[in-house]
Chain A
Amino acid sequence: METKMVHLTINNIPVTVPEGTTILEAARTVGIRIPSLCFLKGVNEIGACRICVVEVKGARSLVASCVYPVSEGMEVQTNTAKVRKSRKLTLELILSNHRMDCLTCARNAHCELRELAAEFNIDAVRYANDELLPRVEDSALHLVRDNSKCILCRRCTAVCRKLQEVGVIGANDRGFATHIGCAFDRDLAEVDCVSCGQCIVACPTGALSEKDDTQKVWDALHDPSKHVVVGPAPSVRVTLGECFNLPVGTNVEGKMVTALKRLGFDKVFDVDTGADFTIMEEGTEFLHRLQNGGVLPMITSCSPGWVRYCEQHHPDMLPNLSSCKSPQQMFGSLVKTYYAEKAGIDPKDIVVVSIMPCTAKKYEVQREEQRLKNGCMPVDISLTTRELGRMIRHAGLLFDNLPDSDFDPMLGQSTGASVIFGVTGGVMEAALRTVVETLTGKDAAPVDFHDVRGLDGIKEATYDVAGKTVRVAVASGLANAKRVLDMVKSGEKHYDFIEFMACPGGCVNGGGQPQQPAEVRNFTDLVSLRSAALYADDAAKTYRKSHENPELIACYKDYLGEPGGHKAHDILHCTYVPQKRYRTDS
């Protein structure tokens, strides 16, 4: 059916857009930007904050342009005295209930509210509220909430409910007392939060931020008795640049390595190498299950948000979960065993820092079942991309001007397969590259598996591999994961291998990635741009399959033995267990 076109005028400029377009979107097509706060396209379309109001001829009151559909002959004004005054007053009201400690706020330089206040030239708030005290809730390992800075835009609750379908936070009470919180206003650590951090990247203000662990890293770096090793995750190299205002999708791997070295890390390794080990172990496990009638579908365990969700909401699926540790944990485990032995350093003196696109990694690093036989936790501190960005600024490094450097050898080699771990479908594709080659031989095995690429929430493909049919599925965002699980449980779908990532689009869109204002998110496809950079990196790599990684080959040969073998199992695998969803007093 052909889309009906609608004709209207905005600020007297004729506009023609498809039916169903909102005023806000229509205005953009003719170069008019309407400010907004609560609007997050496709996620939070509720017209609540009233910043985006405009005048529509004939309407009784001002209307919210973010949700108001255009209609034939409509006459819209976006910049009248009435509109400007209304927006300013609304902002003033928001500010009257917002604790303005901007200078010391985690969001200070890139707060959407602050930007708007500057834009509207707000010089005073006439309704000052002296009663606003910090309301800090920092029970969880990964985030801090301060409701005194919350403006109730509901972006966080929308991502938690709609994208993730976890729904641990929501609006409580009503009227002026309305606030965002968990059921019974329990602390986040007491509920079934999966720590994905999507709420943080959705938050326009400093009400939500990751728990800052940078001081711990500084402390380690300044401690001469510690050997501090760092490794960034695959996706960080294509997002870190955004912290320094580089265009979305810029690959800054070389500058990042230089920055890490200049920050004083003793070794700068690459978690990509950890990802290659994951493929070797996971691939081996999958082949074993496939060939020996093991539990299928096998489901990936790279994403700690997904793992926790599975443990809390779908404990019956735990036998399906791969026993592999995540790339971060494999990386840390190898540093504190293999590297420690080779370098002759007591693993207890090593501090492993990971740079992750993820807040759930902060939770993962302290999971007890990850502990190594030598008593060490594989990773000591997990930082988000944002925190690394802050450390680099703090250290006075002019990121733009940094030269490129290479990772340190031994655990610093990456492959195309490991690079694409950072995007939905990447783990699956990397695994297929190795598994298919193992089953069919090098010449017959393809490198690119296009069916599992792309930004669809749920993807599926079937491969005929050496006479065996392998059915795979890929889903990102827990809402999509739930959908796939429901289909598997009901028997509607049969898969052999499933990749789940907690964040929609995968790690490139993780909860630890640089926060882009809604205004950018609404009109730019961050996931596409960031993942395109990863696929470009993959295509340019010398080694594109995990099992080709020379450092990995050396490690198995010199230290681990066979993939899936006894030693590899000891170091690189663990057991996931059911977890309680609610922690009540009784």
Chain B
Amino acid sequence: MKTISELTALREEMQGRLALRHTSDFPIEATNTETYQRHILVCAGTGCTSSNSPAIIEALDKELKAKGLDKTAKVVHTGCFGLCALGPIMVIYPEGAFYSHVTVEDVPEIVDSHIAKGQLVERLLHKEDGNTVHTLPESRFYKNQMRIGLRHCGVINPDDINEYIGVGGYTALTRILTEKTEPQAIIDAVKNSGLRGRGGAGFSTGTKWQFTADAQSEDGVKYVACNADEGDPGAFMDRSVLEGDPHSVLEAMTIAGYAVGAHQGYIYIRAEYPIAVDRLNTAISQSRELGFLGKDIFGSGFDFDIELRLGAGAFVCGEETALMTSIEGHRGEPRPRPPFPAVKGLWQRPTLLNNVETYANITWILNNGWEKFAAIGTAKSKGTKVFALGGKITNTGLVEVPMGTTLRTIIEDIGGGVPNGHKFKAAQTGGPSGGCIPASLIDTPIDYDSLMAIGSMMGSGGLIVMDDTNCMVDIAKFFLEFIIDESCGKCTPCRIGTKRLYDLLCKITEGNGTLEDIDTIEELCQHLQASSLCALGQSAPNPVLSTLTHFRDEYIAHVVEKRCPAGVCKNLLKFTIDPDKCRGCTLCARNCPAQAISGQLRAPHVIDHAKCVKCGACIENCKFGAISRS
């Protein structure tokens, strides 16, 4: 394909076929020309794949063929719908019927009833507070969302470039290349949109593009790179974008290459994301085939190609200079800045580095106008943000909301609140670099600056909900344990300081802490922030500092009262048998590995606290609920 008219013809054809999937989220104004009566969309993201969606797709294909319906309905695998907790997920158009927890066994019924007769399978429709939800947009989970970065996830087949073209893909790139748009005009649009990097610190994307465009390279070589090394445990925004909509990233990188004067792109992606890697590989080869990548793209004289580089499991490689060191084939150790990557990045050449979600916003901005993007969000944080909602929350999954949405909306409305009657205690954003937001700040509008102000950070978008059974000292310790291993080991404060912080937290959770230890912890935290080489070390104390700020009483309880209020820290637990409830069945004593329980048959038993190893075996075995832990 070399001309705009060829592309336009293909797009129009695809639009007619995709019109079947018309919803409020997906406003394609085209006459339905699809020969299939129905599209069965099945989520093939990592979450649903883990809960067996490939088998469902296979069963569907087989069943449709067996019933002679394979010309009636088409099975389409898509990226993540977001509601991972309800997976595997299936949506059937044109009704938009939303089926959750689908199993292989459900397939014949779906085909017989819905496909053959047009009757919805009522029992598979999602229920919310006892009410049946017919379509996704109706669900409470979707209502408060606004999907820009995820706009094509769960909507198109990521392995089919034609579907991407059908929803307007590659319009922006081909328009820019054929109209020979001034690179500066593109950079200005990105700048004016107010888009900030979605990977961490929230630096202005347009400014970054400007720096790279302005930087001089001796041999004229520059690079564009995409950070898809989503190392934050509990975050999977970027993976979902790549699994659901890889072309939007490829298109944006190519545009970025044109804007800053680069001809080679690299995507640094975690090897732990096999599905995303496959889809990217497919997308890159399809894109090359149709001429969106390669030499002389659309006859414009502009060359650009993209290569994948696989990470190998190192959190620090999410840091920009470490990522580049890693692409260069070395240990992923950060380099001092300056020089900044925009001036001297990959192989000492000016390099533009953005993360996946940032790129995913670019074509939306260019197609819809920066003004529209800038109208979303808060004063300094524009657009939307994708969060991976996890932990103690009913609707685990992927959500995208306008900047400035409150934590309450995300947790209570979209997330469906904390399950099992527990109380919301804190939300952790930004992963190991972020902090914990206490329940008292649940009405904080989520944007870069307000999160920073309360000691957390946006990070890449992990949002872990914790309830009253989570100990905040333990959580701080968990993140430090992560960092001790994930620190690159190059600079002193991060390599040794995090270990010493961890030692001190262990001391506290083991019941040996002192109030001076808390002071020492604070001092060390400030030291790491001020003196570490890279952002990993500088932000490593955030989980500790934020919990110390918002849950100081919990630290004090561990230190002074030698008590873990959440009942997590084993050394501080005390197991007791209520003599009124104990029937003297001896089951607990017989199951105690430490022989710490004694008592006569049919008489109340007693736990010897000196011998107790706090394993909890007694509680598990007690049939009368007589044993408590505090």
On whether the two chains bind one another, the answer is yes
Residues of chain A whose beta carbon lies under 8 Å from any beta carbon of chain B: 46-51, 53, 60-64, 67-69, 82, 85-86, 89-90, 93-94, 96-97, 126-127, 151-152, 154, 171, 173-178
Complex interface: stretch among B139-147, B159-167, B458-466, B479-487: B479-487
CB-defined A-B contacts under 8 Å, sample of 29: A46-B490, A47-B533, A48-B533, A53-B531, A67-B336, A86-B531, A89-B524, A89-B527, A90-B493, A93-B492, A93-B493, A93-B497, A93-B500, A94-B496, A97-B499, A127-B500, A171-B331, A171-B489, A174-B487, A174-B489, A175-B486, A175-B487, A176-B496, A176-B498, A176-B499, A177-B485, A177-B489, A178-B490, A178-B495
**Is B363's CB within 8 Å of the partner chain A?**
no
**Distance between Cα atoms of A126 and B520 in the complex (Å):** 9
A160 to chain B, nearest CB (A): 15
**Distance between Cα atoms of A68 and B527 in the complex (Å):** 19
**Is B439's CB within 8 Å of the partner chain A?**
no
**Is B193's CB within 8 Å of the partner chain A?**
no
**Is B522's CB within 8 Å of the partner chain A?**
no
Measured between beta carbons, the chain A residues less than 8 angstroms from B547 are none
Please name the residue on chain A nearest to B332 by beta carbon: A174
- Is there contact, CB below 8 Å, between A94 and B531? no
Measured between beta carbons, the chain A residues less than 8 angstroms from B485 are 174-177
**Distance between Cα atoms of A89 and B531 in the complex (Å):** 10
**Distance between Cα atoms of A93 and B486 in the complex (Å):** 18
- Is there contact, CB below 8 Å, between A96 and B496? yes
Please name the residue on chain B nearest to A37 by beta carbon: B492
A223 to chain B, nearest CB (A): 48
**Distance between Cα atoms of A82 and B530 in the complex (Å):** 9
Measured between beta carbons, the chain A residues less than 8 angstroms from B483 are 175
- Is there contact, CB below 8 Å, between A97 and B336? no
A236 to chain B, nearest CB (A): 36
Secondary structure dominating the interface of B: helix
**Distance between Cα atoms of A174 and B316 in the complex (Å):** 10
Please name the residue on chain A nearest to B516 by beta carbon: A126
- Is there contact, CB below 8 Å, between B503 and A127? yes
- Is there contact, CB below 8 Å, between A174 and B331? yes
Per-residue A-contact encoding for B519-532, CB less than 8 Å = 1, 0 else: 01001100101111
Q: Which of A64, A67, A89 has the most chain B CB within a 10 Å cutoff? A: A89
Q: Which of B314, B496, B529, B533 has the most chain A CB within a 10 Å cutoff? A: B496
- Is there contact, CB below 8 Å, between B314 and A174? yes
B426 to chain A, nearest CB (A): 26
- Is there contact, CB below 8 Å, between B484 and A86? no
**Is B361's CB within 8 Å of the partner chain A?**
no
Measured between beta carbons, the chain B residues less than 8 angstroms from A174 are 314, 316, 331, 485-489
Measured between beta carbons, the chain A residues less than 8 angstroms from B530 are 61-62, 82, 86
Q: Which of B335, B520, B533 has the most chain A CB within a 10 Å cutoff? A: B533
Measured between beta carbons, the chain A residues less than 8 angstroms from B524 are 89
**Distance between Cα atoms of A472 and B520 in the complex (Å):** 63
Measured between beta carbons, the chain A residues less than 8 angstroms from B316 are 174
**Distance between Cα atoms of A175 and B500 in the complex (Å):** 13
**Is B491's CB within 8 Å of the partner chain A?**
yes
**Distance between Cα atoms of A510 and B463 in the complex (Å):** 57
**Distance between Cα atoms of A175 and B484 in the complex (Å):** 5
**Is B538's CB within 8 Å of the partner chain A?**
yes
Q: Which B278-334 residues sit within 8 Å CB-CB of chain A?
A: 314, 316, 331
**Distance between Cα atoms of A11 and B335 in the complex (Å):** 26
- Is there contact, CB below 8 Å, between B489 and A175? yes
**Distance between Cα atoms of A85 and B528 in the complex (Å):** 12
**Distance between Cα atoms of A50 and B491 in the complex (Å):** 7
A3 to chain B, nearest CB (A): 17
Measured between beta carbons, the chain B residues less than 8 angstroms from A97 are 496, 499
> Which of A68, A69, A175 is B488 in contact with, Cβ under 8 Å?
A175
**Is B220's CB within 8 Å of the partner chain A?**
no
**Is B338's CB within 8 Å of the partner chain A?**
yes
> Which of B314, B336, B484, B498 is A64 in contact with, Cβ under 8 Å?
B336
**Distance between Cα atoms of A49 and B491 in the complex (Å):** 5
Measured between beta carbons, the chain A residues less than 8 angstroms from B338 are 68-69
**Distance between Cα atoms of A463 and B169 in the complex (Å):** 70
Per-residue A-contact encoding for B136-174, CB less than 8 Å = 1, 0 else: 000000000000000000000000000000000000000
B537 to chain A, nearest CB (A): 9
6 extra A-B contacts, CB within 8 A, seeds A47-B336, A96-B496, A127-B500: A46-B336, A49-B491, A67-B336, A89-B493, A151-B492, A175-B484
- Is there contact, CB below 8 Å, between B533 and A90? no
- Given A64-B336, A176-B485, A177-B485, the answer on whether A48 and B492 have CB atoms closer than 8 Å is yes
- Is there contact, CB below 8 Å, between A61 and B491? no
- Is there contact, CB below 8 Å, between A152 and B495? yes
Measured between beta carbons, the chain B residues less than 8 angstroms from A177 are 485, 489
Please name the residue on chain A nearest to B484 by beta carbon: A176
- Is there contact, CB below 8 Å, between A176 and B531? no
B580 to chain A, nearest CB (A): 47
Please name the residue on chain A nearest to B497 by beta carbon: A93
- Is there contact, CB below 8 Å, between A49 and B492? yes
**Distance between Cα atoms of A173 and B489 in the complex (Å):** 8
Measured between beta carbons, the chain B residues less than 8 angstroms from A53 are 531
Please name the residue on chain B nearest to A60 by beta carbon: B538
Measured between beta carbons, the chain B residues less than 8 angstroms from A82 are 530
Please name the residue on chain A nearest to B485 by beta carbon: A175
- Is there contact, CB below 8 Å, between A61 and B490? no
Measured between beta carbons, the chain B residues less than 8 angstroms from A63 are 336
A322 to chain B, nearest CB (A): 38
Please name the residue on chain A nearest to B500 by beta carbon: A127
